[in-house]
Amino acid sequence: MTVYSTEEKRILVSGGSGFIGSHLIDLLLSQGHEVLCVDNLFTGSKRNIDHLHDNPKFEFIRHDVTLPLYVEVDEIYNLACPASPIHYQHDPVKTTRTSVSGAINMLGLAKRMKCRIFQASTSEVYGDPEVHPQVEGYWGNVNPIGPRSCYDEGKRCAETLFFDYNRQHGIEIKVARIFNTYGPRMHQADGRVVSNFIVQALKGIPITIYGEGQQTRSFCYVDDLIDGFVRFMGTTPDVTGPINLGNPIEFTIRELAELVLEMTGSKSTLVTAPLPEDDPKQRQPDITMARKLLDWEPRVKLRQGLEKTISYFDELLSEEAR
């Protein structure tokens, strides 16, 4: 059962200028909280938070979470880490350091401040799953030495640290495993399937499908996801997670490509390329726990969310063309 607090807080969001982080900040500010956005702008963008700089309750600090941070806050959301293969494979050692050292530094801050902390983990902890749909009790099938392991194992280690800080130091933790999320403010060159397909369709260039496009994903609109974050943070201390947050409705990659073509009216063709190494064949969350403990499930249908996302990228590309 969720327990919501109307008390105004000073909340730190690491990775706050990123796609998901910036939407989370919007929601927290709308609830009357003060928000400290911490980001090194490696994958985040000032564009995502430009509209907030005149808000007296918003503050931005350019900082890398692999270094300690000494501030006073009442609550922490730790979202800092590159989350797309193109970005996290660009500097894999840095990616692992961000997940692990970043978690240690944010947990250290939570320990000093005696405050609650949220970890944005990922469905990638399940690897290429042998259990479908994925339940929180499944330990995963992850290649520890592959090209994706900097992210997969980094996030798995971060979860370990969160639960050890909880057991050893009594820190109040909330660990969410995020499944594929999309919406406005996605990076147009992050290599994620939704942004890739939309940008390719709007530019009228071929849409690239890896393999035959029969691998599946479940797409959650960003507003639904951050609603889950805030609900989770409002639960009693004994509800630690990990909890899956994502949309349980599964689509093949080819189905997504065809829907994007239809909605954009694009003349782009579909072309195939070899599957990337360790690319999961299936990804679908079991959200039984989120429904029970958070009274949460996604509300936004894929077509509805894609309309908003396509509109965002259409405007972005138009601005770049001017």
The string of pLDDT tens digits covering residues 177-205 is: 999 999 999 988 777 899 999 999 999 99
Enter the tokens of residue 209: 């499908």
DSSP state of 145: T
Pairing state between β 250-252 and 216-218? antiparallel
Tell me if 140 sits within 8 A of 127, measured CB to CB: yes
Show the domain range for 268.
Answer: 10-321
On whether residue 32 sits in a domain, the answer given is yes
Global model pTM greater than 0.75: yes
pLDDT at 89 over 70: yes
Q: Tell me how many degrees the CA angle 8-40-67 measures, rounded to the nearest 5.
A: 85
On whether residue 106 sits in a domain, the answer given is yes
On whether residue 165 sits in a domain, the answer given is yes
Q: What percentage of the chain carries pLDDT values higher than 90?
A: 79
pLDDT of residue 6: 64
Q: Which of 44, 104, 46, 109 is nearest to 74 (CA)?
A: 109
* DSSP codes joined into one string, 223-246: HHHHHHHHHHHTB-TT----EEES
On whether residue 2 sits in a domain, the answer given is no
Measured CA to CA, the distance from residue 21 to residue 83 in angstroms comes to 12
Question: Which residues, in sequence order, are CB contacts of 92 under 8 Å at separation 6+?
Answer: 147, 150
Helix (H, G, I), strand (E, B) or coil at 141: strand
**4 in catalytic set:** no
Helix (H, G, I), strand (E, B) or coil at 264: helix
On whether residue 3 sits in a domain, the answer given is no
Domain count, the chain: 1
Measured CA to CA, the distance from residue 248 to residue 97 in angstroms comes to 31
What mean pLDDT comes out for the span 38-44?
92
pLDDT at 68 over 50: yes
Average pLDDT over the chain reads 93
Find the CATH number of the domain harbouring 113. 3.40.50.720
DSSP state of 82: -
Name the active-site residue from 77, 126, 151, 165.
151
Measured CA to CA, the distance from residue 20 to residue 33 in angstroms comes to 18
Q: What percentage of the chain carries pLDDT values higher than 70?
A: 96
pLDDT tens profile 101-121 = 999 999 999 999 999 999 999
pLDDT of residue 1: 46
Tell me if 98 sits within 8 A of 32, measured CB to CB: no
pLDDT tens profile 283-320 = 899 999 999 999 999 999 999 999 999 999 999 999 88
pLDDT of residue 223: 98
